[in-house]
C-alpha cells in the first residue's frame, strides 16, 4: 500500500473538526483532555506525513481542491515545514495544559482554530487566505466575551485587519490593481503582526485572554505567512522598504519595552512583536538572503517562542500571575522548567547552536549590506532581546529560595513537551543544513514570482503566485 | 610515518572535540533530569581536559615539522547558500579551526587552567547543591574558550565568544538563593551583550569588506604575527574600532570596568579561571588575532594604547583602596590587562611587542589563577599570624599617600567609588533608558484602557523605580 496515496492533507483538516464535534459529547475534564490530545496528535501526524510526502517527491498527494487549474489548498516549498509546525504548536499547548485547567480549556474552539489556521497556512490563493485569516482574527474574541473581558480594543484591532485585507483583495484581485492592492495588504498585515502602533492589540490580547489562546493567536505568526503569499510577490520595492523601516523601529521599540517590562505576559507579547517585526525587516530588504533569513527566523522564533510561552504558562498554572518586579527563586522548585525557559529563550534570540543563529547572521549581513545603520539597529534589537530573556530568567528562577510544601515539579506531560522542544531546538541548531536549504529555495521561489509579477505590465489575478 | 600536516589535523580535531564531548556528557543527563554523581562528573571533566591538553601539546610538538604553515581543521560548511544564477555572492558559514602559535598558546592555557581549576573546584564545591550546574557551565566555558582561541573565521570566534559570555554570566549568578549574584550576573550579561553586538557587527563588516570572515583574508595567508591585511587604512580603522569596542566589553577596559568586581560574586574557582585568567584576556586575544589591522592603522594603534593605559592607570588607582581580596585581585588583574592591551597597540611600531603581549598574557593568567585559588587560605594564614602577634599585620603604604595633599581626598574618593564608572552607566545610561520606556509603557496602558473603555488605574503600577538594574 502506498502511504502517500491517502489524502493526508484533507485528513489534517477533518480530524481537528471531528475532534471539536466530539468535545461536545464529553463533560469529564479527564476524558476531554485525553481525546483533545488524541485528535491534536493525530493531526500532527497527518501534517508530518503531508510534509514528508512533499519532500519525498509526492506533491500531488498533498494538493487539494484543484479548481480551474488553480490549487486553493496546496503544499509547496514555503508551507511544507510550516503545517507540521502549526500542528505541533497546538498539540504542545494541549499537552501542557494542566488537568485542573482542562475544564476551562476551550478544547472545541482550539481544535476549530487549528483547522482554520492549518487551512490558512495551506492556502495559496488570496481570497480564501484572506477569509481564513479573518476567521482566525475574530475567534479569540469569542473567548474574551465568554470571560467577560473588555472587547473594544480587540474588536478594533481585528476589524482594521479584516477590512484592510478585504480591501487589498478587492483592489488587487477584483479590480486588477495588484500593486495598489498590495499596499492595503501591507497595512493589514502590519496590524495583524503588531507593527507600531498596532502592537497594542497583541499586548492587550495577552493581558485579557487565556495564555493558551493568546499564544496560539500570536506565535504561528500568521501575518508573516500572509506577507510571504500576498505582499512579497507583488508589492513595489518602495513599499517593502517602508515596511522594513517601520518594522525595524517596532522591533527595537518592542525589545526595549520588553527589557523593562514588569508583567510577564506583556513582556512575552513584546518579545513576540519584536521577533515578528524582525522577520518583516527581512522581507522588507527583499534580497534572497534577507528573505531566507526571515523565513528561517519565522519558524525558529515560532517554535522557540511557543516553548517559552508554554513554560511561562506552566509557571502561571503553579504560581499564579507572575510579575517581573522582584526575584522569585523558582529554580529549586522547577529546575526542568528553568532549563526549558533558558533554552527556549536563548533559541528565541538566535544563540549559537539554535536554529535562529543562522537567521540572525543572515539578517544582519543583509541589513549591513543595505545600510550600516539598519545593521546596527538589527544587532541592537537582538542584543536587547537577549538582555530581556536573561533578565526574565534571573528574576523568575533565581534571587531567593522559594519555599512551599506543595510539590511543584514538572509533570510527565510537560516533560514530554520540554524534551520534544529541546530535541527540536538542538537538532535544528546543530544540523540546520536541510532546513536552511529548504527556506532558501522558498525565498528564491518567492522572489522569482515577484520578478515575474513586477515585469508583467498588467498583473491579473492569474499572475498572482500559486 | 604520517604526514605532519595530516597528523596536526587529526590532533586538532581531538582538541576541538574534547570540550564539545564534555558539554554533551554533562549536559544531556541534566536535560533528561538525571543527576550524575560527583565522581562521574569529575571523571568526565578530567578525561576531557586531559585528552584536549595532551592533543594540544602534541600539536605544539608537531608544529615545527609542518612546513611553516598553520594546520587548519576544516569541519566543513555548516551552512552554505548559493543563489540561482552565476556571478551572485554566496553565503557560507565555514567551521574552521586554525592551529598557529597564538591559537595553540591560548588553547593550551585554557586546558591547563581549566584542568587545574576543575580539580580545585571538585573539593571547593563538594556536596554543594549546584555541583553539577557548575560543571555544566564550566564545560560550556571551556568549549567557548577553545572555540574562540582556535577559530579560523570570525563567525566561529563569535560562537565561542557567546558561549564564554553566557557561561560567565550564569556563573556569576551561581549562588542563586541570594539576590546579589543574579543582579550582578545580569550586569555582566548586559555588558557582554553590548560587546557581542559590536563583535557581530564587526564580523558582518568584515564579510562586507573582504567577502568572507576567514582570518586568512586579513592575515594575507602569513603566520601570526606577520600577516599583512589587504584592507585600506580607513577600513582597518573602522573594523578595528568595532573590535576594540567588543574587546573592551569582554576585558572590562574603561569604561566597562564596573562589571569585573561584580563578577566576583561567583564561586572562587570561577572567579579565578574566568575573570582572573581567561575570560578577561579574551578581548586582548581578539586584538592580538587582529594584529594586521593594528599594523595597518596608526589611529587604531593610538586608540588601543590610550584605552590600555587609561585602564591600567584606573585599575592601579582603584586597587589601592579595595578591602576584600577578590576585588583587589580583580583590579590588579585589570591593571595588567590594560598593560597587555597597550603593548598590543605599541606593536604597530614594534612588532616584537605582540610576542611580549602574548607572553605577558600567559604569565599573568597563570599567576592570577594561583593567587585567586590561594586567596581563601591566605586569609586564614593572615588570621593565624595576626592572632600570634596579637595585632594587625603592618600594611605597606599605598601610592595615594604620596599624592599631593590637594588631590589626595579627591583621588581617594575616586578610587573608593571605582572611578564612578558604574554610577555613570547607571545614572546616565541605564536609568534614563528604563524611565523612558516605563513612561512609554504607562502611556500604552492608558491608551489601551481608553480604547477598552475601562478605568482600572493599572497605568500607575509601574511608577516605582525598578531595582533589578540598580547596582
Per-residue pLDDT tens over the stretch A315-368? 888 888 888 988 988 888 888 889 999 999 999 999 998 888 989 988 988 888
Q: Closest Cα partner for B440 from A347, A255, A374? A: A255
Chain A residue with minimal CA distance to B189?
A: A387
User: Chain B contact for A257, CB < 8 A?
Assistant: yes
Q: Cell 585554557 sits at which residue?
A: B110
- Give contacts of A 178-237 with B, CB under 8 A: 200, 203-204, 207
pLDDT for position B4: 75
A395 touches chain B (CB under 8 A): yes
Spatial separation of the C-alpha atoms in residues A206 and A146, rounded to whole Å? 16
A64-67 and B91-99: which strand pairing? unpaired
Between CA A266 and CA A271 the distance in angstroms is 9
Residues A240, A294: Cα–Cα separation, whole Å: 14
Q: Which three cell numbers stand for residue A195?
A: 507593527
Cα-based distances in Å from B285 to A168, A345, A435, B167, B247? 55, 29, 35, 19, 8
Q: Does B28 touch chain A (CB under 8 A)?
A: no
Q: Which residues of A touch B460 (CB under 8 A)?
A: none
Please list every residue in chain B whose beta carbon sits closer than 8 Å to the beta carbon of residue A262: 461-462, 466
Which residues have a Cβ under 8 Å from the Cβ of B253 and sit 6 or more positions away? B247, B283, B307, B308, B311, B337, B338, B341
The answer, for B163 touching chain A at a CB cutoff of 8 Å, is yes
Are the beta carbons of B109 and B128 closer than 8 angstroms? no
Cell readout for B62 is 608537531
- Indicate whether B134 pLDDT > 50: yes
Q: Report yes or no: A353 and A428 within 8 Å, Cβ to Cβ.
A: no
pLDDT in the model for residue B245: 95
Q: State the pLDDT at residue A64.
A: 61
- Does this model's pTM top 0.95? My answer is no
C-alpha cell at B299: 589611529
According to the model, what pLDDT value does residue B271 have? 83
Task: Kindly list the distances between the CA atom of residue B422 and the CA atoms of A62, A170, B178, B254, B438, in Å, as whole numbers in the listed order.
Answer: 60, 58, 21, 11, 22
A346: contact with B, CB 8 A cutoff? yes
Distance CA B381, CA B360 (A): 29
Contacts 24+ apart (CB under 8 A), A91-94: A91/A37, A91/A40, A91/A41, A91/A43, A91/A44, A92/A306, A92/A307, A92/A310, A92/A417, A92/A420, A92/A421, A93/A212, A93/A215, A93/A216, A93/A306, A93/A310, A94/A33, A94/A36, A94/A37, A94/A40
Is B262 part of the contact surface with chain A (CB cutoff 8 Å)?
no
Q: Kindly determine whether residue A368 and residue B196, on different chains, have CB atoms separated by under 8 Å.
A: no
User: For residue B74, what is the enclosing H or E element?
Assistant: strand B71-81
Q: Please, what's the b/e burial string for A104-125 (b: 16 or more CB within 10 A of its CB; e: otherwise)?
A: ebbbbbbbbbbbbbbbbbbbbb
Measure the CA–CA gap between A299 and A356, rounded to whole angstroms: 9
Which residue of A156, A351, A361 is in closest CB contact with B451?
A156
Q: Which residue has the higher pLDDT, B62 or B467?
A: B62
B105 in Cβ contact with B135 (< 8 Å): no
Separation between Cα atoms, residue B273 and residue B76, nearest integer Å: 32
Residue A364 forms contact with B (CB below 8 Å)? yes
The helices-and-strands tally (H runs, E runs) of chain B is: 18, 2
Residue A350: name the closest of A249, A274, A257 by CA: A274
Tell me the per-residue pLDDT of A113-167, one tens digit each, with 9 for 90 and over: 999 999 999 988 888 899 999 999 988 888 888 888 888 999 999 999 999 999 9
Of A103, A328, A304, give the one whose Cα is nearest residue A215. A304
Q: pLDDT tens digit string along B242-279? A: 999 999 999 999 889 888 888 888 888 888 877 778 88
- Is it the case that residue A266 has pLDDT exceeding 70? yes
Q: Which of B111-115, B150-154, B338-342 shows the lowest mean pLDDT across its residues? A: B150-154
Q: How confident is the model at residue B471 (pLDDT cuts 50, 70, 90)?
A: very low
- Grid cell, residue B400, equals 595615594
Q: What is the mean pLDDT of residues A75-95?
A: 90
Distance between CA A234 and CA A453 in Å, rounded?
A: 6
Question: Cell 574552521, residue?
Answer: B96
Place of cell 490530545: A37
Within chain B, what is the greatest distance between any pair of CA atoms?
85
The whole-angstrom separation of Cα A160 and Cα A197 is 12
Residues B2-9 have a mean pLDDT of: 77
Measured CA to CA, the distance from residue A432 to residue B77 in angstroms comes to: 11
**By percentage, how much of chain B surpasses pLDDT 70?**
92
Place of cell 603593548: B343
A212-239 pLDDT, tens digit per residue, is 889 999 988 888 999 998 888 888 899 9
Q: Give me the percent of chain A exceeding a pLDDT of 90.
A: 42
| Closest chain A residue to the Cα of B195, Cα to Cα | A383
Average pLDDT in chain B: 86
Are B462 and B441 a contacting pair, CB within 8 Å? yes
**Which residues of chain A have a CB within 8 Å of the CB of B190?**
387
Overall average pLDDT of the B130-134 stretch: 91
Taking 60 as the threshold, does the pLDDT of residue B460 lie above it?
A: no
**What percent of chain A is modeled with pLDDT above 70?**
94
Q: What's the CA gap between B251 and B257, in Å, rounded? A: 8
* Nearest chain A residue (CA) to B155: A361
d(C-alpha B261, C-alpha B128), whole Å = 23
Q: How many residues does chain B have?
A: 471
> Which residues partner with B171 through β-bridges?
none
Provide mean pLDDT across the span A364-389. 90
Question: Do A399 and B462 make contact, defined as CB atoms within 8 angstroms?
Answer: no
The pLDDT of residue B447 is above 60 = yes
Instruction: Tell if the CB–CB gap between B201 and A289 is shorter than 8 Å.
Output: no
pLDDT at A172: 84
Q: Residues 301 to 330 of A: which have CB under 8 A from any B CB? A: 325, 327, 329
The residue count of chain A comes to: 466
pLDDT digit string (tens) for B172-223?
999 988 999 999 999 999 999 999 999 988 888 887 787 766 777 766 667 7
B91:A352 CB<8 A: no
- Percent of chain B residues past pLDDT 90, beyond the cut: 48
Residue appearing with cell numbers 601539546 = B57
At B76 the pLDDT is 78
Task: Concatenate the DSSP letters of all residues of A315-372 into one string.
Answer: HHHHH-S-BSSS----TTT-HHHHHHHHHHHHHHTT-TTSTHHHHHHHHHHHHHHH-H
A346/B466 Cβ within 8 A: no
Mean of the pLDDT values across residues A414-420? 86
3-state helix, strand, coil in chain A (%, to 5): 75, 0, 25
Residue with cell 584536549: B52
pLDDT of B435 higher than 50: yes
Question: Which residue, B244, B225, B255, is CA-closest to B286?
Answer: B244
pLDDT band per the 50, 70, 90 thresholds, residue B375: confident
Residue B31: the pLDDT is 82
Decide if pLDDT at B96 tops 90.
no
- Partners of B73 in the β-ladder: B97
Per-residue pLDDT averaged across B223-234, rounded? 83
B159 in contact with A, Cβ within 8 Å: yes
A213 contact partners, CB below 8 Å, separation of at least 6 = A106, A110, A140, A143
pLDDT for B34 equals 84
CA distances from A121 to A11, A254, A449, B239 (A): 15, 26, 18, 43
> Residue B428 has which C-alpha cell?
546616565
B79, B83, B162 member nearest A288 (Cβ) = B83
Which pLDDT does position A345 carry in this prediction? 93
Q: Give one word for B201, left, alpha or beta, with left for phi > 0 and alpha for psi -120 to 50.
A: alpha
| Mean pLDDT in residue range A277-282 | 94
Indicate the SS3 state at residue A44: helix
Q: Render pLDDT for A434-462 as a digit per residue (tens, 0 to 9).
A: 889 899 999 998 998 888 877 754 444 43
The pLDDT score that the predictor gives to residue B354 is 94
Strand A70-73 with B71-81, pairing: unpaired
- This complex has an ipTM of 0.90
Q: Which of B197, B444, B453 sits opposite A200 (nearest CB)?
A: B444
pLDDT band for position A67 (cuts 50, 70, 90): low
Q: Tell me which chain A residue has its CA closest to the CA of residue B172.
A: A394
Which pairs count as long-range contacts for A409-416, CB under 8 Å and 24+ apart, including other chains? A409/A333, A409/A334, A409/A336, A410/A314, A410/A334, A410/A336, A410/A337, A410/B33, A411/A98, A413/A95, A413/A96, A414/A95, A414/A96, A414/A314, A414/A336, A414/A337, A415/A336, A415/B33, A416/A95
User: From the CA of B163, how many Å to the nearest CA of chain A?
Assistant: 8
Determine the average pLDDT of the residues in A44-58. Answer: 88
Per-residue pLDDT tens for A284-325? Answer: 998 899 999 999 999 999 999 999 999 999 888 888 888 898
Please tell me the predicted confidence (pLDDT) of residue B455.
Answer: 65
Amino acid at each position: 500500500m502506498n502511504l502517500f496515496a491517502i489524502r493526508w492533507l484533507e485528513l489534517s483538516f477533518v480530524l481537528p473538526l471531528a475532534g471539536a464535534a466530539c468535545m461536545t459529547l464529553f463533560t469529564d475534564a479527564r476524558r476531554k483532555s485525553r481525546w483533545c490530545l488524541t485528535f491534536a496528535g493525530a493531526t500532527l501526524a497527518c501534517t508530518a506525513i503531508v510534509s514528508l510526502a512533499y519532500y519525498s517527491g509526492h506533491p500531488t498527494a498533498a494538493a487539494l481542491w484543484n479548481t480551474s487549474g488553480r490549487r486553493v489548498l496546496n503544499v509547496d516549498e514555503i508551507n511544507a515545514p510550516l503545517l507540521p509546525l502549526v500542528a505541533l504548536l497546538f498539540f504542545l499547548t494541549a499537552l501542557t495544559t494542566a488537568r485542573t485547567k482542562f475544564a476551562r480549556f476551550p478544547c472545541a474552539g482550539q481544535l476549530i482554530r487549528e483547522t482554520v489556521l492549518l487551512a490558512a497556512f495551506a492556502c495559496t490563493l488570496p481570497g480564501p487566505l484572506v477569509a481564513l485569516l479573518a476567521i482566525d482574527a475574530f475567534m479569540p474574541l469569542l473567548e474574551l466575551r465568554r470571560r467577560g473581558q473588555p472587547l473594544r480594543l480587540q474588536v478594533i484591532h481585528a476589524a482594521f485587519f479584516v477590512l484592510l485585507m478585504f480591501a487589498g483583495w478587492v483592489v488587487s484581485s477584483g479590480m486588477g490593481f495588484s500593486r495598489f492592492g498590495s499596499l492595503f495588504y501591507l497595512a493589514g498585515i502590519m496590524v495583524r503582526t503588531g507593527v507600531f502602533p498596532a502592537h497594542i492589540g497583541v499586548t492587550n490580547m495577552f493581558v485579557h485572554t487565556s495564555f493558551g489562546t493568546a499564544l496560539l493567536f500570536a506565535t504561528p505568526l500568521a501575518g508573516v505567512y500572509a506577507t510571504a503569499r500576498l505582499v512579497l510577490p507583488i508589492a513595489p520595492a518602495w513599499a517593502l522598504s517602508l515596511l522594513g523601516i517601520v518594522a525595524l523601529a517596532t522591533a527595537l521599540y518592542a525589545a526595549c519595552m520588553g527589557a523593562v517590562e514588569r508583567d510577564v505576559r506583556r513582556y512575552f507579547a513584546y518579545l513576540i512583536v519584536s521577533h515578528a517585526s524582525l522577520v518583516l525587516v527581512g522581507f522588507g530588504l527583499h534580497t534572497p538572503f534577507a528573505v531566507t533569513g526571515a523565513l528561517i527566523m519565522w519558524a525558529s522564533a515560532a517554535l522557540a517562542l511557543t516553548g517559552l510561552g508554554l513554560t511561562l504558562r506552566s509557571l502561571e498554572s503553579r504560581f499564579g500571575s507572575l510579575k517581573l518586579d522582584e526575584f522569585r527563586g523558582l529554580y529549586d522548585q522547577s529546575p526542568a522548567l528553568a532549563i526549558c525557559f533558558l533554552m527556549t529563550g536563548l533559541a528565541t534570540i538566535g544563540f549559537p547552536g539554535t536554529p535562529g543563529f543562522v537567521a540572525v547572521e543572515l539578517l544582519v549581513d543583509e541589513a549591513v549590506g543595505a545600510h550600516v545603520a539598519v545593521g546596527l539597529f538589527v544587532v541592537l534589537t537582538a542584543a536587547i532581546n537577549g538582555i530581556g530573556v536573561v533578565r526574565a530568567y534571573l528574576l523568575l528562577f533565581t534571587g531567593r529560595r522559594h519555599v512551599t510544601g506543595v510539590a511543584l515539579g514538572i509533570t510527565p506531560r510537560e516533560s514530554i513537551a520540554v524534551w520534544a522542544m529541546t530535541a527540536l531546538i538542538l537538532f535544528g541548531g546543530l544540523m540546520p543544513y536541510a532546513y536552511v536549504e529548504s527556506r532558501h529555495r522558498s525565498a528564491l521561489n518567492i522572489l522569482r514570482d515577484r520578478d515575474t509579477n513586477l515585469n508583467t505590465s498588467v498583473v491579473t489575478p492569474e499572475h498572482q503566485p500559486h | 610515518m604520517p604526514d605532519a600536516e595530516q597528523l596536526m589535523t587529526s590532533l586538532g580535531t581531538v582538541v576541538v572535540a574534547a570540550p564539545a564531548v564534555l558539554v554533551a556528557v554533562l549536559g544531556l543527563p541534566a536535560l533528561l533530569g538525571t543527576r550524575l554523581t560527583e565522581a562521574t562528573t569529575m571523571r568526565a571533566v578530567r578525561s576531557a581536559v586531559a585528552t584536549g591538553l595532551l592533543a594540544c601539546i602534541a600539536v605544539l610538538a608537531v608544529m615545527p615539522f609542518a612546513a611553516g604553515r598553520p594546520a587548519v581543521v576544516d569541519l566543513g560548511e555548516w551552512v552554505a547558500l548559493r543563489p540561482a544564477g552565476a556571478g551572485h555572492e554566496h553565503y557560507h558559514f565555514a567551521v574552521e579551526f586554525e592551529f598557529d602559535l597564538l591559537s595553540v598558546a591560548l588553547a593550551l592555557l585554557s586546558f591547563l587552567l581549566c584542568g587545574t581549576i576543575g580539580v580545585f573546584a571538585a573539593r571547593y564545591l563538594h556536596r554543594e547543591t549546584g555541583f553539577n550546574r557548575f560543571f555544566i557551565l564550566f564545560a560550556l566555558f571551556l568549549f567557548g574558550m577553545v572555540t574562540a582561541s582556535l577559530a579560523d573565521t570570525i563567525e566561529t570566534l563569535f560562537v565561542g565568544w557567546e558561549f564564554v559570555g553566557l557561561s560567565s554570566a550564569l556563573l556569576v549568578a551561581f549562588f542563586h538563593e541570594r539576590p546579589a549574584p543574579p543582579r550582578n550576573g545580569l550586569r555582566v550579561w548586559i555588558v557582554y551583550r553590548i560587546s557581542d553586538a559590536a563583535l557581530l557587527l564587526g564580523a558582518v563588516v568584515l564579510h562586507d569588506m573582504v567577502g568572507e570572515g576567514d582570518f586568512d583574508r586579513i592575515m594575507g595567508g602569513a603566520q601570526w604575527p606577520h600577516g599583512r591585511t589587504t584592507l585600506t587604512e580607513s577600513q582597518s580603522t573602522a573594523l578595528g574600532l568595532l573590535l576594540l569596542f567588543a574587546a573592551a566589553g569582554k576585558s572590562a577596559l574603561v569604561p566597562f570596568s564596573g562589571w569585573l568586581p561584580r563578577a566576583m560574586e561567583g564561586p572562587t574557582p570561577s572567579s579565578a579561571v574566568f575573570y582572573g585568567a581567561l575570560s578577561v584576556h579574551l578581548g586582548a586575544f581578539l586584538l592580538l588575532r587582529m594584529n594586521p589591522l593594528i599594523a595597518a592603522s596608526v589611529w587604531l594603534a593610538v586608540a588601543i594604547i590610550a584605552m590600555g593605559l587609561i585602564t591600567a592607570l584606573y585599575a592601579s588607582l582603584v586597587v589601592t583602596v579595595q578591602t576584600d581580596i577578590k576585588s583587589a585581585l580583580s583590579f590588579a588583574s585589570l591593571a595588567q590587562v590594560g598593560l597587555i592591551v597597550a603593548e598590543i597597540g605599541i606593536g604597530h611600531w614594534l612588532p616584537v611587542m605582540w610576542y611580549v603581549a602574548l607572553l605577558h598574557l600567559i604569565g599573568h593568567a597563570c599567576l592570577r589563577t594561583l593567587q585567586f585559588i590561594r586567596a581563601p587560605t591566605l586569609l586564614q594564614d593572615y588570621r593565624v599570624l595576626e592572632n600570634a602577634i596579637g595585632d594587625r599585620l603592618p600594611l605597606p603604604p599605598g601610592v595615594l599617600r604620596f599624592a599631593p595633599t590637594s588631590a589626595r581626598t579627591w583621588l581617594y574618593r575616586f578610587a573608593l567609588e571605582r572611578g564612578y564608572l558604574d554610577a555613570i552607566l547607571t545614572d546616565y545610561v541605564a536609568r534614563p533608558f528604563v524611565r523612558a520606556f516605563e513612561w512609554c509603557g504607562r502611556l500604552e496602558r492608558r491608551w489601551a484602557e481608553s480604547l477598552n473603555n475601562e478605568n482600572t488605574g493599572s497605568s500607575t503600577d509601574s511608577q516605582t523605580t525598578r531595582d533589578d538594574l540598580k547596582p
